[in-house]
């Protein structure tokens, strides 16, 4: 009886599954991968799906979700590790600060963060660049957070909005949209939030936090400006994005059928996997010839980088299981029919669902995975254009950026590394993340009517 009732009320069933997921993660402290699988199983039984069909849906959902995502996340992890150990990320930030001068440093750091977070995870980039922030703060006699918040705003936006970071790749795969439009939508929707939450908000909030200035260090040497390494790093980061965008624009203009020789070649090198393979190999060459790293050291760096990537891949696969259960049980179709009657559009719904999950359990990646899994059945038969689907990816990314607080590991890293109290972090970083989220939602809603 319960299963029959819930099969006729998919909203209640989905709400129960999300509630169970949050209980397992927040209260029982289960790992997100296991919690997603268990929630999917309970949901499948609750909506009356034949129990002998559930295992096949689990296998199909896991495999379907990971075909592209697993490859890109793994390559991205290795690529980021090469840039981290080569010192390229710090060289790029240092060079940009020297280019703009002290007054333009917050803006330079925001742009540097926006670029660096494409291949390097936010927490890793913060660790790499923290000494640079404090050296800059000492030389300019300002709190480190005055420079840190713009950097963090740039890092946070790219981390959620712009491929080839894992989150938007996962969502794009679930919604069935290529990465070219997603990159464009992510930059357009995310960059205004980074500007408002970074240099502009920092100028207003930092004086009100009453933060101290780092004590000067005697005989502190200024880091040399390695312009060559900065240019190499910038080229390595932008090359795969340029290739993916070029291939997508060519397909939009000429169509993807009956490609000519040059169009086929561009489609090949502009495929996300090939583009990232080329950049990863180039970053390894930089480590070999410029940084004089031997093959064993490079192998160890790559192997170490794949550890965290494995967790992201498993969580992604588990989210794919939840999506497949929605489809195979028929609950997704019923959910789409019931949601279509609500006075809320796709963009606002995608943002709201993801924001609730993000605020509740803390992980942006889990929130984006769950949000995309919920939205995929709703838009499957909606006949949305690639750009509208890309804007939905941006809306989900914005929702996953909402209100980082005490259940987010990034909140504590920022608090400790930049020497903020919990109250100061809530008043600054949490608000900055929410600014990025709301501005991203606003941009997606604004652009929806033009594409």
Average pLDDT taken over every residue of the chain: 84
Residues 6+ apart with CB under 8 A from 272: 68, 72, 163, 164, 169, 179, 240, 244
Phi, psi dihedral angles at 178 (to 5 degrees)? -75, 165
- Quick one: what percent of the chain has pLDDT higher than 90? 25
Q: d(Cα 389, Cα 339) in Å, to the nearest integer?
A: 17
Q: How far is CA 426 from CA 145, 205, 241, 280, 361, in A?
A: 13, 12, 34, 37, 16
List pLDDT tens digits, range 301-325. 889 888 877 877 887 788 778 778 8
Find where tokens 């005055």 sit.
146
List b or e across 311-336, with b for residues whose CB sees 16 or more CB atoms inside 10 angstroms.
Answer: ebbbbbbbbbbbbbbbbbbebbbbbb
For the chain, the C-alpha Rg in angstroms (whole number) is 22
- Specify if 107 maps to a domain: yes
Mean pLDDT value of segment 42-46: 88
Report residue 278's pLDDT band, with 50, 70 and 90 as the boundaries.
very high
Residues 6+ apart with CB under 8 A from 148: 130, 133, 414, 418
Residue 302: its pLDDT value, please?
Answer: 87
Report residue 260's pLDDT band, with 50, 70 and 90 as the boundaries.
confident
Q: d(Cα 444, Cα 188) in Å, to the nearest integer?
A: 9
The listed range with the strongest mean pLDDT (49-53, 110-114, 225-229, 440-444) is 440-444
Q: Are 377 and 333 in contact (CB under 8 A)?
A: yes
More confident residue, 313 or 115: 115
More confident residue, 225 or 15: 15
- Specify if 106 maps to a domain: yes
Count how many domains the chain has: 1
Residue 332: its pLDDT value, please?
Answer: 67
Res. 407: pLDDT tops 60:
yes
Provide the domain limits for residue 430.
Answer: 2-213+223-448
Least reliable range by pLDDT among 1-5, 39-43, 247-251, 365-369: 1-5
Per-residue tokens: 390: 């890309």
Q: d(Cα 289, Cα 426) in Å, to the nearest integer?
A: 45
More confident residue, 54 or 83: 54
Residue 101's Cβ-count burial label (10 Å; 0-12, 13-18, 19+) is: exposed
Res. 340: pLDDT tops 80:
no
List pLDDT tens digits, range 162-214. 987 888 988 998 899 999 999 999 999 999 999 999 999 999 999 999 898 87
Q: How far is CA 166 from CA 281, 349, 369, 401, in A?
A: 19, 22, 10, 14
Report residue 8's pLDDT band, with 50, 70 and 90 as the boundaries.
low
End-to-end CA distance of the chain: 45
Mean pLDDT value of segment 393-402: 96
Per-residue tokens: 80: 């980021």
Residue 155: its pLDDT value, please?
Answer: 92
Q: d(Cα 109, Cα 100) in Å, to the nearest integer?
A: 10
- Specify if 218 maps to a domain: no
Least reliable range by pLDDT among 283-292, 296-305, 331-340: 331-340
- Specify if 101 maps to a domain: yes
Q: Are 93 and 133 in contact (CB under 8 A)?
A: no
Res. 435: pLDDT tops 90:
yes
């Amino acid at each position: 009886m319960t299963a029959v009732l819930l099969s006729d009320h998919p909203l209640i069933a989905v709400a129960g599954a999300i509630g169970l997921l949050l209980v397992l993660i927040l209260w029982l402290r289960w790992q997100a991968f296991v919690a997603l699988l268990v929630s999917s199983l309970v949901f499948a039984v609750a909506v009356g799906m034949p129990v002998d069909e559930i295992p096949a849906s689990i296998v199909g959902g896991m495999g379907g979700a990971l075909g592209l995502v697993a490859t890109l996340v793994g390559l991205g992890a290795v690529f980021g590790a090469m840039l981290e150990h080569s010192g390229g990320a710090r060289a790029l930030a240092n060079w940009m600060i020297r280019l703009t001068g002290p007054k333009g440093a917050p803006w330079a750091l925001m742009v540097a963060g926006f670029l660096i977070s494409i291949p390097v995870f936010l927490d890793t980039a913060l660790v790499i660049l923290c000494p640079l922030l404090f050296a800059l703060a000492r030389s300019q006699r300002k709190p480190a957070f005055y420079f840190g918040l713009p950097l963090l705003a740039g890092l946070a936006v790219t981390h959620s909005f712009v491929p080839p970071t894992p989150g938007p790749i996962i969502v794009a795969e679930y919604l069935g949209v290529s990465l070219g439009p997603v990159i464009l939508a992510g930059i357009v929707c995310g960059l205004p939030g980074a500007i408002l939450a970074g240099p502009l908000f920092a100028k207003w909030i930092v004086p009100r936090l009453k933060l101290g200035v780092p004590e000067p260090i005697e005989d502190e040497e200024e880091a040399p400006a390695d312009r060559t390494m900065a240019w190499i790093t910038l080229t390595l980061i932008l090359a795969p994005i340029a290739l993916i965008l070029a291939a997508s624009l060519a397909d939009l203009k000429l169509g993807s059928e009956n490609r000519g020789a040059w169009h086929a070649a561009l489609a090949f090198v502009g495929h996300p996997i090939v583009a990232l393979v080329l950049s990863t190999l180039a970053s390894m060459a930089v480590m070999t010839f410029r940084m004089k790293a031997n093959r064993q050291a490079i192998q160890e760096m790559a192997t170490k980088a794949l550890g965290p990537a494995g967790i992201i891949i498993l969580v992604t696969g588990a989210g794919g299981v939840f999506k497949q259960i929605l489809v195979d049980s028929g609950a997704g179709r019923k959910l789409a029919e019931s949601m279509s009657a609500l006075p809320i559009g796709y963009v606002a719904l995608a943002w709201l669902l993801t924001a609730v999950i993000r605020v509740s359990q803390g992980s942006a990646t889990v929130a984006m995975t769950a949000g995309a899994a919920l939205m995929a059945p709703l838009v499957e038969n909606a006949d949305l254009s690639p750009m509208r689907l890309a804007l939905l990816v941006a809306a989900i990314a914005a929702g996953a950026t909402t209100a980082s607080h005490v259940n987010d590991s990034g909140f504590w890293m920022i608090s400790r590394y930049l020497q903020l109290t919990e109250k100061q972090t809530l008043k600054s970083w949490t608000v900055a993340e929410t600014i990025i989220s709301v501005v991203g939602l606003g941009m997606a809603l604004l652009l929806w009517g033009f594409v």
